[in-house]
Amino acid sequence: MKSSSKLFQRAQLHIPGGVNSPVRAFRAVHSTPRFIAKGKGAHVWDVEGNRYLDFVMSWGPLILGHADPQVVQAVTRQVRNGTSYGAPTEGEIRLAELIKSAFPSIDKVRLVSSGTEAIMSAVRLARGVTRRKKIIKCDGCYHGHVDSLLIQAGSGLATFGVPNSGGVPEELAELTISIPYNDAQALEGVLKKYGGDAACFLLEPIPANMGVILPKLGYLKEIRSLTKRYGVLLIFDEVISGFRAALGGAQELYGVQADLTCLGKVLGGGLPIGAFGGRGEIMDHLAPKGKVYQAGTLSGNPLATAAGIATLTRLRNRGFYRLLESKSDRLYSLWGSAIRKDSLRVTLNRVGSCFTIFFTPQAVTDYASAQRSDVKRYGRFFRRLLASGIYPAPSQFEANFVSAAHQRDDLEKAGEVILKVLRTV
């Protein structure tokens, strides 16, 4: 009989660390990764046949749940006609039209194969348009494994980057400036000093890669005003929040429009895809029309666009987000009242169908406050939930997701189990 532990031992002989993305290794929670055999609706089954209520949902893309019938049908229909052509298809246009209808800040959009590729391309475009070199980002915001963005911030108002990964030259990292999230004054200070050299301010408007953190009231509008004043392009990394926080992402939710927007995750309905888009005069700098080069053999892949069209079409149905929000709110209200009543030493951060339970009683508003979390307690929390048939994010500093496939009864039962475990750890 197959087992996750045996498969993990075998994988480590052939794959670095036994996984193809580091967080899958479960090291942060001192456990062995579960090798998944199948998923359906809100559940996954491992190779040993154990069933879990899934809150990872492939790290966010599966807003409709696993193996959604309409997405499966769309992909099956397309695969019979071929998997890739290296030539334009009508599906690319249809998906671009759906993206534009959701994001008024996007006049034109370019499809790519991942969120990381979208970010990398948007930064290059910003540099090409502005003819400036420096990038400003926020501490703790992860934008994919792009060399210029894998930097660790220092203390103080802002610090030039120090590489946070082997293989990243210090000379390249020095072009990135990292500042605290939710601190408009920090951005203003950097812009006063380096604004003439800064191509863009790259931001997750709703960070989800240090755990879910919400923007303070007025923060996004302040940074929008500041970047306009200094001629710095504002890039919103909505790879996670796009189509998740709302159909139009954080920009719809908070009424702030970026110059460039990066998308992924939900956009592909579970298949690899990414996109970046913005105002026409900016996007027209891309080749073949302009001088900023970007290309990809599998960009606009027919299977991914088919899954994306099927997904976004469903999301446009009236009442979709209202129903998803009501399911999520029921769960959050259960936890919130118990956290207050029992004085549990945790903080619940949530927006829409995304949430993180931080193992700290103090408010979490940025990277520094997130780092106060007790990761050992989270590890015990994770392992006990997994043993109870609930699959949360295998890291304190990640988001969890509710999908349309989660049933109210399942969520209420899971909510009670999670509260019971919270009280014991």
* Whether 258 and 291 share a structural domain: yes
Catalytic positions: 142, 237, 265
Question: Alpha carbon of 68 to those of 54, 83, 93, 371, 404: distances in Å?
Answer: 14, 20, 23, 36, 10
Six-digit token pair at 392?
């949360």
Q: How many residues does the chain have?
A: 425
User: 136: buried, middle or exposed (CB in 10 Å: 19+, 13-18, 0-12)?
Assistant: buried
Residues ≥6 apart with Cβ < 8 Å to 3: 47, 48
- Tokens 């996670």 — which residue? 240
The pLDDT tens digits along the chain (425 residues) read 799 999 999 999 999 999 999 889 999 999 999 999 999 999 999 999 999 999 999 999 999 999 999 999 999 999 999 999 999 999 999 999 999 999 999 999 999 999 999 999 999 999 999 999 999 999 989 898 876 776 653 323 334 445 566 777 777 778 999 999 999 999 999 999 998 999 999 999 999 999 999 999 999 999 999 999 999 999 999 999 999 999 999 999 999 999 999 999 999 999 999 999 999 999 999 999 999 999 999 999 999 999 999 999 999 999 999 999 999 999 999 999 999 999 999 999 999 999 999 999 999 999 999 999 999 999 999 999 999 999 999 999 999 999 999 999 999 999 999 999 999 99
Domain that holds residue 189: 69-315
Reduced to 3 states, what is the DSSP secondary structure of residue 331?
A: helix
* Whether 216 and 300 share a structural domain: yes
Closest to 181 (Cα-Cα) out of 148, 158, 147, 151: 158
For residues 279 and 282, give the distance between their C-alpha atoms in angstroms, rounded to a whole number.
Answer: 5
Amino acid at 150: L
| Domain count within the chain | 2
For residues 253 and 147, give the distance between their C-alpha atoms in angstroms, rounded to a whole number.
Answer: 31
pTM comes to 0.95
* Whether 343 and 300 share a structural domain: no
* Whether 283 and 410 share a structural domain: no
Q: What is the pLDDT of residue 62?
A: 98
Cβ atoms of 274 and 114 within 8 Å: the answer is yes
* Whether 265 and 327 share a structural domain: no
